[in-house]
């Protein structure tokens, strides 16, 4: 930071801070704001509970594929994780427990969906769906990435006589035991659902449009003795979160994805290919499961049991392409009707929405919808020119991949909190990224993103409308460096 920003604070200004969303990042913001002594904070949450994606997703087999001890806040290690890859319900319970422990429930306004957030005369005016209004000096948008289901426009879907739902809106009243279940989509979600249902439903038909790379992983339980040792020894618990093997795997993976032709990416591909060759003896099935694009181009799937599940006598991999949905099931292009009682759409999410459909309006009436008409853009994924004192956690073009997003959000928090301090300490009233900073960042980012494995020729939610990966395209080390302290020449400070 430069001299202008490091000078002594005039005073600590009482600020109203509004956090959008009580998921993983919103909870983090709430805890950190309380810790820093911000006295007037509201977290608006559209649902009745905290947890974000872990609240929304309750499908059978839901598992966090990032190791549990890494998928924890750095300040709240958890000795009680049941296994290396924890079930979704356990992750949800962890967030609920953390909210209680840090005493931030009083900040959260449940069942309050923000529909408008408008910058007027130096402050943000918020309107909730309920009609409630609020005004804030600073906004932290922690609305998540994958929360708007992508429901495919498959001909005939409304005519289906069984039960059909998206994976993130699981209907638990629908019986699965003995049912004929169709699962459309084989991303991380579809793979986990099929793995859970293969021995349970009378038939599971997995509709695959594109084969996926599956990386082998084990998921052992922690023994009671291990958990007792974690509880007794904080240093041991700490060493699990910062497990050198896990960290070096993340480092290796995140470096590998930067270059689609790197030896490291070929090594990862060889492991995944070997896993397929060893796990699936039937050459015809193996051929259907073998992807024809680079490993990790789509988010790599970690699964201990999918290949076993898809070879279960009650499971079938359907690759013929969906022609339409009919009253009794799915008809594929080869003319076959796959009769179903339950149809699960594990078809992913619209990953370019972020705060929207909320109407966010910045300085001089500029609408976020217009600014983002082509694609969502944000300087270093946290700030948008024209939207002063408005910061995002897990915003567009941040790091995504097979690692802990909690870590990413924590690093973004330490960056954002330094910008907030400028306002709080009276250095300025408004802090805003410059257009030049965003343009330079985005130009360099796009050039680098095209070279990453995400841009090497497959379709995935990582890609923007122009087919460019909307991701952080550099190393984790570079991200850490970028998040350590804001470069103040990339911001305008004003006292309007
Ligand atoms: P996804 O990775 O976007 O996969 C969507 C699937 O639906 C793809 O297989 C896609 O096929 C298919 N699909 C979409 N439209 C279709 C259509 N009209 N006809 C046929 N197939 C269609 O979605 P996801 O599996 O829900 O996962 C999204 C992300 O959530 C993951 O990448 C991950 O970041 C996160 N997630 C994480 C975990 C975890 O354990 N941490 C678990 C689940 C999800 P194509 O491949 O052909 O497009």
* Residue 90: per-residue pLDDT: 98
Give me the pLDDT at residue 3, please. Answer: 39
| Residues 310, 354 within the same domain | no
Output the CA 388–ligand 1 centroid distance in Å: 34
Choosing from 185, 299, 320, 471 the residue with most ligand 1 atoms within 8 A of its CB, the one to mutate for a pocket test is: 185
Pair 197, 329 in one domain? yes
Q: Whose CA is nearest to atom 17 of ligand 1?
A: 152
The rounded Å distance from CA 189 to ligand 1 centre is 6
Tokens linked to 394: 């897990």
- Whole-model pTM: value is 0.96
**Cα–ligand 1 centroid distance for 259 (angstroms):** 23
Find all residues with CB under 8 Å of 74, minimum gap 6, and list them.
Answer: 241, 406, 407, 410
220 lies in a domain? Answer: no
**pLDDT at residue 8 in the model:** 41
Calculate how far, in angstroms, residue 406's C-alpha sits from the geometric centre of ligand 1. 21
Please say if the pLDDT value at position 103 is more than 50: yes
pLDDT (tens digit, 9 = 90+) per residue, 56-67? 999 999 999 999
Going from the Cα of 185 to the center of ligand 1, the distance in angstroms, rounded, reads 6
Residue 240 lies inside a defined structural domain of this protein:
no
Cα of 160 vs centre of ligand 1, distance in Å, is: 22
Pseudo-torsion of CA 318, 175, 68, 218, nearest 10°? -50
Same domain, 330 and 406: no
Using CB distances shorter than 6 Å, the residues near ligand 1 are 63-66, 146, 152, 154, 167, 184-190, 209-210, 299, 322, 346-349, 459, 461
Q: What CATH number has the domain bearing residue 414? A: 3.50.50.60
Q: How far is the CA of 455 from the centre of ligand 1 (A)?
A: 17
* 235 domain residue, yes or no: no
The pLDDT assigned to 403 comes to 87
Q: Whose CA is nearest to atom 46 of ligand 1?
A: 210
| pLDDT of 5 over the 90 cut | no
In a shared domain, residues 322 and 457? no
Q: Say yes or no: 191 and 306 in one domain.
A: yes
d(CA 378, CA 392) in angstroms, rounded, equals 9
β-bridge partners, 180:
203
Supply the pLDDT for residue 249: 85
Containing structural domain, residue 106: 3-148+350-494
Choosing from 92, 167, 193, 347 the residue with most ligand 1 atoms within 8 A of its CB, the one to mutate for a pocket test is: 347
Number of domains in the chain: 2
Q: Are residues 131 and 199 in the same domain?
A: no
496 has pLDDT over 90? no
User: Does 2 score more than 50 pLDDT?
Assistant: no
Burial tier of 73 (Cβ tally within 10 Å: 0-12, 13-18, 19+): buried
Nearest CA to ligand 1 atom 4: 187
In a domain, 267, yes or no: yes
Q: Give the span between the Cα atoms of 72 and 79, in whole angstroms.
A: 11
**Ligand 1: nearest atom to the Cα of 302:** 40
Burial 118-155 (b: 16+ CB within 10 A, else e): ebeeebbebbbeeeeebebbbbbbbbbbbbbbbeeebe
- Greatest Cα pair distance, the chain, in angstroms, is 75
Q: Are residues 311 and 453 in the same domain?
A: no
Mean pLDDT of the chain: 95
To test ligand 1's pocket by mutation, which of 148, 157, 344, 348 has the most ligand atoms within 8 angstroms of CB?
348
272 φ, ψ to 5°?
Answer: -65, -40
The answer as to whether 336 is a domain residue is yes
Q: How far is the CA of 461 from the centre of ligand 1 (A)?
A: 8
Question: In the predicted model, what is the mean pLDDT of residues 96-124?
Answer: 98
**How many Cβ atoms from other residues are within 10 Å of residue 331's Cβ?**
18
Per residue in 219-258, pLDDT (tens digit) is 999 999 999 999 999 999 989 888 888 888 888 888 889 9
Query: Domain boundary at 288, 319, 345, which?
Result: 345
392 and 284 assigned to the same domain: no
Look at residue 481 and tell me if it is in a domain: yes
Q: Tell whether the model's pLDDT for residue 425 goes beyond 70.
A: yes
In a domain, 452, yes or no: yes
Tell how far the Cα of 349 is from the centroid of ligand 1, in angstroms.
7
Q: For residue 57, give the ligand 1 atom closest to its CA.
A: 43
């Amino acid at each position: 930071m430069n001299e202008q920003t490091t000078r002594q604070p005039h005073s600590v200004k009482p600020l109203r801070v509004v956090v959008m969303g009580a998921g993983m990042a919103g909870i983090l913001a709430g805890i950190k704001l309380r810790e820093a002594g911000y006295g007037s904070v509201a977290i608006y949450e559209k649902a009745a509970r905290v947890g974000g994606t872990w609240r929304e997703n309750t499908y059978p087999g839901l598992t966090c594929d990032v190791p549990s001890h890494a998928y924890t806040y750095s300040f709240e290690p958890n000795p009680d994780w049941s296994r290396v890859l924890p079930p979704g319900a356990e992750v949800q319970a962890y967030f609920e427990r953390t909210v209680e422990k840090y005493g931030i429930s009083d900040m959260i306004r449940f069942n309050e969906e923000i529909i408008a957030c408008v910058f007027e005369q130096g402050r943000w005016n918020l309107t909730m769906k309920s009609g409630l209004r609020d005004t804030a000096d600073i906004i932290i948008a922690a609305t998540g990435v994958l929360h708007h289901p992508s429901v495919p426009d498959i001909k005939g879907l409304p005519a289906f006589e069984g039960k059909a739902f998206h994976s993130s809106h699981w209907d638990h009243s629908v019986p699965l035991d003995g049912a004929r279940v169709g699962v459309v989509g084989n991303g991380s979600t579809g793979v986990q659902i099929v793995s859970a249902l293969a021995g349970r439903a009378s038939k599971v038909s997995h509709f695959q449009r594109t084969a996926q790379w599956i990386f082998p992983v084990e998921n052992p339980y922690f023994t009671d003795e291990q958990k007792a040792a974690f509880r007794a020894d904080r240093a041991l618990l700490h060493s699990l979160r910062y497990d050198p093997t896990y960290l070096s795997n993340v480092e290796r993976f995140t470096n590998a994805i930067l270059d689609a032709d790197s030896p490291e990416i070929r090594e990862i591909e060889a492991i995944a290919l070997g896993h397929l060759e060893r796990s699936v003896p039937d050459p015809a099935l193996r051929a259907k499961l073998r992807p024809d694009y680079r490993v990790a181009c789509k988010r790599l799937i970690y699964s201990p049991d999918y290949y076993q599940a898809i070879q279960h006598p009650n499971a079938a991999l359907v690759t013929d392409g969906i022609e339409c949905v009919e009253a009794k099931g799915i008809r594929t292009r080869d003319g076959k009707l796959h009769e179903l009682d339950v149809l699960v759409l594990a078809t992913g999410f619209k990953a370019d929405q972020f705060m929207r459909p909320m109407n966010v309006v910045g300085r001089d009436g500029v609408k976020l919808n217009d600014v983002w008409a082509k694609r969502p853009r944000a300087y270093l994924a946290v700030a948008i020119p024209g939207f002063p004192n408005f910061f995002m956690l897990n915003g567009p073009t941040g790091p995504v991949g097979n690692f802990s997003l909690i870590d990413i959000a924590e690093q973004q928090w330490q960056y954002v909190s330094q910008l907030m301090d400028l306002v709080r300490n009276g250095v300025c009233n408004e802090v805003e990224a410059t257009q030049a900073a965003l343009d330079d960042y985005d130009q360099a980012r796009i050039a680098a993103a095209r070279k990453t494995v995400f841009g090497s020729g497959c379709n995935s939610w990582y890609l923007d409308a122009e087919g460019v990966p909307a991701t952080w395209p550099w190393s984790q080390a570079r991200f850490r460096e970028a998040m350590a302290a804001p470069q103040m020449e990339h911001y305008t400070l004003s006292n309007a």
